Amino acid sequence: MKTIQLASGERLDARQLTREGVLPTKIVEAARDIVARVRGEGDAALRALSLEFDGVEPACFRLPDEVLDRALDGLDPAFVASLEKAAAQIRAFHERELTQSWFTTRADGTLLGVKVTPVAAAGIYVPGGRAQYPSTVLMNAIPAKVAGVERVVMVTPPQREAAPGEPAISPYTLAAAKLAGVDEVYLVGGAQAVAALAYGTESIPRVDVITGPGNAYVAAAKQLVSGDVGIDMVAGPSEVCVLADATAEPMVVAADLMAQAEHDPLAACYLVTEDAAFAEAVERGIETLVAQSPRAEITRTSLDNEGVIVVAADRAAAVDAVNTIAPEHLELHCADALGLLGSIRNAGAIFVGAWSSEPLGDYVAGPNHTLPTGGTALFSSPLSVEHFQKKSSVVCYTPEGLLADAPATQRLAEAEGLWAHALSAGLRRRMLEEGPEAVSAEALASADLTAVAWPGDVAETCAEGVGGAAAPAAGGEA
């Protein structure tokens, strides 16, 4: 691991980290071609790309509903019980995130508020092929269902080694889909699956939001379709930062760093401490533990190339370094861990105290494990129920409210040179002040409409209205 020693008063510079902030251009261009093919050719492109990248050419992409219905049959009861525990705790956490529509009424009777509505359809991407990720299914499908999404669609690459007559999908992934309430499963992966979800094909209807992790091609495709559909984030390699002092157990911290490093050779692991001797003990611990790891090669590559140790001069500098790193996962492995929580500004998920192992958050704790990576915790948040909801502002004026706010609207519209904006409000004023006949086609044909749009009394009326009937009076949730 690379070591950065910070002198007294020195701050970590983000440029000292090894992150790559953007997807490689070649991958983005390749994903662009794939997305364009699927958008233009539909299922024909999906079949050709599935054969090219996954080695299979399915006649039908959708997994039969009866296969999904039988997903729990014959599975190890201990696994099912673990999956059910995780699902229950993930669901309970996300139910706390639900926001309600709300409305407030001003003194003049004007009703204002927000209407919260779930999207109609959400697509979740679950990595597959030779791997299996039931936890990813739970973390993406459950908040969608809690939000009220009616149609949750799962796409995952087909498994090449499926036994004859068996579905080309991990039974564990399928079981998670059943427990999480997934409605449709399609065996297609890669950038082509993202394109199918975004634009639809003959066999896969489009969705409104796409979430879930994937390789660089999946991330690039999500970036490309963003704007045509909603996405959760463009995620990069996984990462962890451990802020530890000498009260921490070096072997445990070593294991925590390895737990992230074994994901991917590109996974980033950061250790921030004020104790150089402790950092050395952690490095020795890694050497001891990695020798027995079945994923030793991946783990070593990650730690050698992407691992960083920051030795800070004091606690304030250490916390500042953590906020500069803005990690996906942060462990506070310190004696006063809970007391540090308020000083942490940038982190996707924060694990507080010696007993809060980050893998607990990966599987069963309840908060979502789909988190901002690559420093995007500076401005971004974990996957939540809100990713599957949309909000509509509600504006319902009374005549009194219109008379109170129209003059200010007209004056601002005049300042921006938007004549019809001012006229829209002015005609309503005229109708209230002079009667409906004053805005008839006949009456307006000979009227000075500029005087209606930008009347001379606007400035005086605006001043009179400040702090008057326009002030909020009462509020409540609906």
Alpha-carbon gap, residue 131 to 264, rounded angstroms: 13
End-to-end alpha-carbon separation of the chain, Å?
A: 54
CA distances to 161, 275, 387 from 241, rounded to whole Å, are 36, 16, 26
Listed in sequence order, the residues at least 6 apart from 10 whose beta carbon sits closer than 8 Å to its beta carbon are 313, 317
Q: Is the pTM higher than 0.85? A: yes
Window from 31-35, 273-277, 459-463 with minimum mean pLDDT? 459-463
DSSP for 56-108 reads ---S--BPPHHHHHTTTTT--HHHHHHHHHHHHHHHHHHHTT----EEEEETT
- CA dist 421 and 216 (Å) reads 46
Q: What is the DSSP secondary-structure string of 341-389?
A: GGG--S-SEEEESTT--HHHHHHTSSS-S----TTGGGT-----GGGGE
Q: What is the pLDDT of residues 187-233, one digit of tens each?
A: 999 999 999 999 999 999 999 999 999 999 999 999 999 999 999 99
Specify the pLDDT at position 478.
Answer: 41
CA distances from 343 to 319, 346, 348 (A): 7, 9, 14
171-180 and 134-147 helices, crossing angle to 10°: 10
CB atoms within 10 A of CB 69: 10
- What burial letters (b/e) apply to 146-182, b meaning 16+ CB within 10 Å? bbebebbbbbbbbbeeeeeeebbbbbbbbbbbbbbeb
Catalytic position from the list 94, 274, 306, 329: 329
337 in helix, strand or coil?
helix
387 is catalytic: no
User: For residue 456, what are the contacts with CB-CB under 8 A and spacing of at least 6?
Assistant: none
328 flagged as catalytic: yes
Per-residue confidence (pLDDT) for residue 468, from 0 to 100: 40
Predicted confidence (pLDDT) per residue in 264-291, tens digit? 899 999 999 999 999 999 999 999 999 9
Closest to 327 (Cα-Cα) out of 254, 382, 287? 382
> For residue 143, what are its two tokens?
């908040």
Q: Tell me what the mean pLDDT of segment 144-162 comes to.
A: 92
pLDDT of 457 > 70? The answer is no
What is the model's pLDDT at position 460? 56
Rounded average pLDDT over 140-161 = 94
- Alpha helices, DSSP H, located in 185-295: 190-199, 216-225, 250-261, 276-290
Q: What percent of the chain has pLDDT over 70?
A: 93
Residue 474 has pLDDT above 50, yes or no: no
Among left, alpha and beta (phi > 0; psi -120 to 50; other), residue 416 is alpha
Average pLDDT over residues 127-151: 93
Please tell me the distance from the alpha carbon of residue 172 to that of residue 188, in angstroms, as a whole number: 17
Domains of the chain: 2-20+236-365 (3.40.50.1980), 25-75+119-231 (3.40.50.1980), 397-477 (no CATH)
pLDDT-derived band of residue 164, with 50, 70 and 90 as boundaries? Answer: low
Q: Indicate the length of the chain as a whole number.
A: 478
Q: Looking at residue 166, what is its pLDDT? A: 73
> Is the separation of the CB atoms in 246 and 280 below 8 Å?
no
CA distances from 12 to 5, 209, 241 (A): 9, 37, 14
CA pair distance 340, 320, nearest whole angstrom: 12
pLDDT band at residue 470 under the 50/70/90 scheme: very low
Token digits of residue 358: 């980050």
**Burial letters 108-133, b for 16+ CB under 10 A, else e:** bebebbeebebbebbbbbbbbbeebb
Mean pLDDT along residues 55-75? 92
Identify the pLDDT of residue 472: 38
Using one digit for the tens of pLDDT, what is the confidence trace for 413-435? 999 999 999 999 999 999 999 99
Q: Which is catalytic among the residues 184, 239, 306, 328?
A: 328
